[in-house]
């Protein structure tokens, strides 16, 4: 693979100047508005358009975990991994129609605030701490590490730590401007991401066609992928039998066929897109119609993402299997291996697209960490020492605390991933995030869904649900097989690559959620028929305008066509 050229560096510098310059312009412009400093920094209240919300959602979501992790799973499994993206499009419809009206009507700005308003202070504090730990030690670390691995794979492995620090500093600079700067620079980021991503897959397909003697023809390259790796073009994996290979078992453990559509896939997506400060924060400052359009626009963009982030992995698999990528070390190197084939200039654009995805995701995550810590922990429990601060001084203090929190968080992530202390490389980046997020997803999603739509749900039930969901996730992951056996009415365990029986983690998540819901409902039935803290709901909240309906129908139609073609 050739290194980067001067032209590549120039393309990247142009991208950097565009993002930094536009961010600085937005930052200076926002200082003239009348929005309070804290709301502007944490929420960009009322200032993001629907297309900025949608672009920001995608730019913050698509990061190294997708470019590197999902591309790696595309190399290993195939398009079945696209379920994470395509089911997300349906989840975003549910969020836009049913979740956002509840949040906006009740003036919810953070997820811990939702829990305090609906339940009690204890639930809010527990979850604030949970989210901070998850964001710092799972999300920030994995995005930073995978991003550094990918970019250093192109410019030289010896630059790994320099790239890591560069990504951390770049994302911190964007974060310091607040949510409005993040939101509008994300429009550039997602444009670079999509243009660079489609250019990369186009050249990847032409490379495949060339290597198989078909000339420079992207369509012929795609047909070659389907011919050379037909098993990589099925959305639903078959349940392994005694005759199945270990590789087939390993694939099923990651993506357990049709069963995952009745279990973990929905919990993963609805929890991530609907109960996650990092995501919902972009829409919480807007009015309902703007928020809905932005979320549905993001859902439409999600339909495109697997093409950008998953197909390069399949291309790398076919090239490697036919001797054209002999030096490929593992699935998480698949994307950078494809980038190595790109011509001068386009490689710089592809690196810019990858950097855009990583920086946007890191910046969004840092702002969410700052928001949760500042508004839900510091201002509630440490503000007593700052009672003398009022008015503009208090606003300035809040923003300063938020910026300091962001700095400390990214510094912790760099320290922990300097030598991959968390073992992300051994798990596979995408699986690492999904698996460990899954430990709290069942309990969190149960708390939110019952809290929104069942007025009887109590605070006691919420605490019990949070703890039960976490403990059950651990039980099914580590203790169910030794205690209950390899085959039960609830699950089938399979031998993993280390020879240890394991239940697919998406199945674990589904059962943890089911039993958590049952326990929460049982406890709540012992309380009043209507909890005094229940939200008021009315049918007007959920009515949809024609433009919203058109967006929903279009998304569902496209998704149905994809599943019919690749079932």
Q: Which of 160, 156, 188 is nearest to 363 (CA)?
A: 188
Q: DSSP 3-state assignment of 487? A: strand
Predicted pLDDT at 46: 53
Q: Which residues contact 72 (CB under 8 A, 6 or more apart)?
A: 313, 330, 331, 332, 333, 334, 335, 428, 429, 430
Dihedral sign from CA coordinates of 375, 537, 44, 437: positive
Predicted pLDDT at 512: 93
What sections of 135-159 are H helices per DSSP?
Answer: 141-155
Alpha-carbon distance of 185 to 279, in angstroms, equals 16
What is the second-level CATH architecture of the domain 6-380+393-420?
A: Up-down Bundle (1.20)
Burial of 115 (0-12, 13-18, 19+ CB in 10 A): buried
CA end-to-end distance (rounded Å), the chain: 36
What sections of 340-390 are H helices per DSSP?
Answer: 346-371, 379-381
Burial 167-183 (b: 16+ CB within 10 A, else e): bbebbbbbbbbbbbbbb
Q: Which residues pair with 495 in a beta bridge?
A: 501
Phi, psi dihedral angles at 456 (to 5 degrees) = -85, -15
Tens digit of each residue's pLDDT (9 = 90 or more) over 511-538: 999 999 999 999 999 988 888 888 888 8
Q: Which residue in this structure is represented by tokens 């708390």? A: 447
Dihedral sign from CA coordinates of 54, 289, 182, 135: negative
pLDDT, averaged across the chain: 82
Contact by Cβ (8 Å): 152, 159: yes
Predicted pLDDT at 74: 85
Contact by Cβ (8 Å): 41, 399: yes
Contact by Cβ (8 Å): 310, 82: yes
Sketch the domain layout of the chain as residue ranges.
6-380+393-420
Mean pLDDT (10-residue bins), the chain, 567 residues: 73 80 70 50 60 80 72 85 89 93 85 87 86 86 82 78 88 71 68 79 89 87 91 90 86 87 86 81 80 92 86 88 74 76 78 77 83 82 58 68 88 85 64 74 91 93 91 91 92 88 90 95 92 86 91 94 89
Alpha-carbon distance of 547 to 475, in angstroms, equals 46
Alpha-carbon distance of 34 to 304, in angstroms, equals 38
Predicted pLDDT at 57: 82
Predicted pLDDT at 320: 85
Tens digit of each residue's pLDDT (9 = 90 or more) over 402-437: 888 889 999 998 998 787 776 666 655 566 776 677
Secondary structure string (H, E, C) spanning 489-546 = CCCECEECCCCCEECCHHHHHHHHHHHHHHHHHHHHCCCCCCCCCCCCCCHHHHCCCH
Q: Which residues contact 522 (CB under 8 A, 6 or more apart)?
A: none
Contact by Cβ (8 Å): 470, 443: yes
- The two tokens of residue 110 are 């953070």
Whether pTM > 0.85 for this model: the answer is no
Alpha-carbon distance of 499 to 513, in angstroms, equals 28
Number of helices followed by number of strands (H, E) in the chain: 29, 2
Alpha-carbon distance of 64 to 54, in angstroms, equals 19
Secondary structure string (H, E, C) spanning 161-229 = HHHHHHHHHHHHHHHHCCHHHHHHHHHHHHHHHHHHHHHHHHHHHHHHHHHCCCCCCHHHHHHHHHHHC
Predicted pLDDT at 179: 60
Alpha-carbon torsion angle 407, 409, 411, 414, nearest 10: -140
Q: Which of 53, 223, 165 is nearest to 414 (CA)?
A: 165
Predicted pLDDT at 426: 62
Q: Which residue in this structure is represented by tokens 């011919």? A: 227
């Amino acid at each position: 693979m050739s290194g980067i050229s001067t032209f590549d560096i120039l393309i990247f510098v142009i991208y950097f100047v565009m993002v930094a310059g536009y961010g600085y312009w937005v930052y200076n412009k926002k200082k003239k508005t009348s929005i309070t400093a804290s709301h502007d920094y944490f929420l960009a209240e009322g200032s993001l358009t629907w297309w900025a919300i949608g672009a920001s959602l995608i730019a913050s979501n698509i990061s190294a975990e997708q470019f590197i992790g999902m591309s790696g799973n595309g190399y290993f499994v195939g398009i079945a991994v696209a379920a994470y993206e395509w089911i997300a499009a349906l989840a975003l419809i549910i969020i836009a129609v049913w979740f956002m009206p509840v949040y906006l009507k009740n003036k919810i700005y953070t997820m811990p605030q939702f829990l305090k308003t609906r339940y009690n202070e204890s639930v809010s504090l527990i979850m604030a701490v949970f989210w901070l730990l998850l964001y710092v030690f799972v999300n920030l670390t994995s995005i930073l590490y995978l991003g550094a691995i990918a970019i250093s794979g192109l410019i030289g492995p010896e630059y790994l730590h320099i790239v890591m620090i560069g990504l951390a500093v770049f994302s911190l600079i964007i974060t310091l401007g607040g949510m409005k700067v993040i939101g509008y620079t994300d429009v550039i980021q997602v444009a670079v991401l999509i243009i660079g991503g489609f250019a990369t897959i186009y050249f990847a397909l032409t490379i495949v066609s060339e290597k198989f003697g078909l000339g420079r023809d992207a369509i012929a390259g795609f047909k070659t992928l389907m011919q050379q790796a037909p098993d990589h073009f099925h959305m639903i994996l078959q349940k392994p039998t005694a005759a199945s290979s270990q590789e087939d078992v390993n694939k099923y453990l990651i993506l357990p066929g049709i069963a995952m559509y009745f279990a973990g896939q929905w919990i993963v997506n609805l929890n991530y897109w609907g109960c996650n400060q990092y995501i919902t924060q972009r829409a919480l400052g807007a009015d309902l119609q703007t928020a809905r359009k932005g979320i549905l626009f993001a859902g439409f963009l999600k339909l495109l993402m697997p093409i950008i982030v998953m197909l390069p992995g399949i291309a790398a698999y076919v090239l490697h299997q036919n001797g054209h990528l002999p030096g490929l070390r593992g699935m998480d190197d698949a994307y950078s291996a494809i980038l190595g084939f790109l011509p001068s200039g386009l490689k710089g654009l592809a690196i810019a697209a990858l950097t855009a995805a990583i920086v946007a995701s890191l910046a969004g995550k840092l702002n969410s960490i700052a928001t949760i810590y500042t508004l839900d922990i510091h201002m509630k429990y440490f503000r007593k020492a700052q009672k003398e601060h009022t008015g503009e001084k208090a606003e300035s203090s809040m923003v300063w605390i938020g910026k300091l929190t962001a700095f400390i968080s990214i510094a912790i992530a760099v320290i922990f991933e300097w030598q991959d202390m968390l073992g992300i490389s051994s798990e596979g980046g995408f699986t690492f995030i999904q698996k460990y997020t899954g430990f709290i997803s069942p309990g969190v999603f149960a708390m939110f869904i019952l809290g929104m739509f069942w007025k009887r749900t109590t605070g006691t039930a919420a605490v019990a649900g949070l703890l039960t969901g976490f403990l059950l996730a651990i039980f099914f992951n580590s203790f169910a097989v030794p205690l209950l056996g390899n085959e039960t009415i609830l699950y089938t365990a399979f031998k993993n690559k280390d020879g240890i029986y394991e239940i697919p983690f998406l199945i674990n998540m589904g059962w943890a959620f089911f039993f958590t819901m049952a326990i929460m409902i049982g406890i709540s039935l012992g309380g009043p028929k209507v909890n005094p803290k229940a939200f008021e709901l009315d049918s007007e909240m959920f009515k949809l305008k024609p433009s919203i309906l058109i967006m929903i129908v279009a998304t569902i139609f496209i998704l149905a066509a994809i599943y019919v073609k690749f079932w």
